[in-house]
Amino acid sequence: MYFPPVKQSLARPGLETMRQVDEYFWQRPEHFLPASWRDKIRLFDSTIGPRDIDQGSLGDCYFLCACASLAEHKKDIEAIFFNHHSSCTKAKEEKHGGWRVILNLHGWWKQIVIDSYLPSRSMLPAFGRNRRRPNELWPSFLEKAYAKGYGSYQAIEAGHPWQAQEDLTGYPGYSVDTLWQEAVEDSDAAARLFKMLERWNEKQYLISIATPTTSKTTINARRRQQQVNLEALFDKAGLATGHAYTVLDIKYFPLHRLCLLKIRNPWGNSVEWSGDWGDNSDMWKKYPTIKIACKPDKKANGVFWMEWNDVINFFDSGSVCFRQGSWIKTWHNYRVFSRFQGNTPELALEIVCDDYLDAFFTIHQKDKRGLPASDSDSKYAAIMISLFEADPLEATQTLVACSGGNPEEPNLKYTFELTRSTSIRYELKKGKRYFLVPRRLTSANGNNQPTKPFIISMHSSHKLSSGSCLGKPTTVNFVKLDPNNEVFRNLPKFQVGTLTTVTSIYQVRHGTDFFDTREGTSFTEGKKVNNVEYENMI
């Protein structure tokens, strides 16, 4: 993809507009840094951390919030910039200002090549940058690669943290916006949502919340029954409207029936909550044991604590990214390309387990971000996935999970969603045979093009095996079901019938290692192909 240092890379004419676009000019780091700093230019200059990130003048706080949450995991950020070429080639590229960035766009792993020119309006990058060390460039380069991936800097303004986290990690995300609205109106719903966030925090998932983009008057009117003058409170609260925040920790104190969230503003400055349990709140003096447990500080670093009821009142949405893995546990990612012909998929997954396997399954379609209204993909198709189970020799498969709602709480309801991705988490049982079936529905407001590409992703707790190596094999084959099969009639059971083996392009990535692109009939038997040749499958 062409992304030169010109005005069109800021905002594409006829498609986007950017305020004061003519005031920006492009500079390399050696141009905008003082001479004494030029021999200190680094991708990573010190310990990677969330405080590295400064937003600048581009309205992409959702993306920088996602970057800040991932920066808690140093190796994940380093893996995004992994260059798999030889040290000699890598050194030559970097000498001439060339960098490689790995992103998961539209559900498909890509390595995006960028140069080191950055938009400026002064002696620093105008957009994302390092707050403390302007010679450390990873925040600027990551934002530039994301902008290139979607066509321009303007294209990445405004969005949802969970989608950016999906793009950065490949792991599925989930929005709790609907649950949040229910929590505003109902205390029981608020309690259930808190418990859900608490469970996710214990699993160290990436949790984000956001303040409303609507006017303060609208916020106040929506909650008028609470008789709280939120317009006045917001001015004094130290919270930015239309802004994404990271949840760092969640604590419940049953003795006091107190629910607290530790929150970070990705701006990393003094713009912090000033109400109860803020840095300077008297509540810490009133409850010293809670202070010991929470360890608040008075630094102007954007980190603060809030009580759950205040969070519900001042924030109006939230999301999670189900990032997995640690230094002692590696997850494995497999992705395969296919298409819908009408509403029938050309490919389904046949999974035969000889051992237990914890897995996430996700269906992706092309993100509509940055696309003109005339592009058919500017509308999402109504999609879902369903999982069926049986013993290996049985012909009848029984529905055990459908996407729609919380992926960790799969249901049995066929729910088609106009969304870019939707997921299931399920523990596959030893000695069982499964079918994962992608689904599409004709929709009055959706994309109903005759042919619609999609990606199926599988994150597994164990490496898949064909049985030719040590360990018990779990195989995932690419098959096609008969278009007239009753599985496409939304029934709870179906007869497998005739299966056709399908050859397709797929990707494999183990943990944060570099990804491979392959061609074959299963996730375990295929030949390697050129990554670049197949990077734009969708």
Cα-flanking dihedrals φ and ψ of residue 185, to 5°? Answer: -95, -15
Q: Is the separation of the CB atoms in 134 and 118 below 8 Å?
A: no
Cα 134 to Cα 29: distance, rounded to the nearest angstrom: 9
Catalytic annotation present for 61: yes
Asked if 246 and 208 count as a contact pair (C-beta separation under 8 A), the reply is yes
332 is catalytic: no
Task: Clarify whether 265 is annotated catalytic.
Answer: yes
Between CA 370 and CA 347 the distance in angstroms is 28
User: Strand pairing partners for 349?
Assistant: 436, 478
CA–CA separation, 43 and 46 (whole Å): 9
Provide CB contacts within 8 A for 353, sequence distance 6+.
Answer: 428, 429, 430, 431, 432, 433, 434, 474
Catalytic entry in 83, 104, 130, 265? 265
Nearest to 439 by CA among 420, 416, 459, 422: 416
> Cβ-count burial of 60 within 10 angstroms (0-12 exposed, 13-18 middle, 19+ buried)?
buried
What gap in Å lies between CA 294 and CA 251, rounded to an integer? Answer: 8
The catalytic residue among 61, 67, 353, 402 is: 61
Of 284, 285, 286, 278, residue with least CA distance to 310: 278
Q: Label the pairing between strands 173-175 and 206-210.
A: unpaired
- What is the separation, in whole angstroms, between the first and last Cα of the chain? 14
Q: Which of 514, 442, 437, 432 is nearest to 478 (CA)?
A: 437
Which residues contact residue 276 at a Cβ distance below 8 angstroms, ignoring those fewer than 6 apart? 283, 306, 307, 310
Amino acid identity, position 448? N
Q: Is the CB of residue 82 less than 8 Å from the CB of residue 161?
A: no
**Identity at 302, one-letter amino acid code:** G
Out of 73, 160, 243, 364, which one is annotated catalytic? 243
Q: Which residues of 443-460 are buried (b: 16+ CB within 10 A; e: fewer)?
A: beebbbeeebbbbbbbbb
Contacts of 130 (CB under 8 A, 6+ apart): 52, 53, 54, 136, 137, 138, 139, 140
Which DSSP helix (H) or strand (E) runs through 66? helix 61-70
Are the C-beta atoms of residues 110 and 103 closer than 8 Å to each other? Answer: yes
Radius of gyration of the chain (CA): 24
CA dist 484 → 143, 252, 416, 443, 497 (Å): 46, 52, 20, 20, 10
Which residues are identified as catalytic? 61, 243, 265
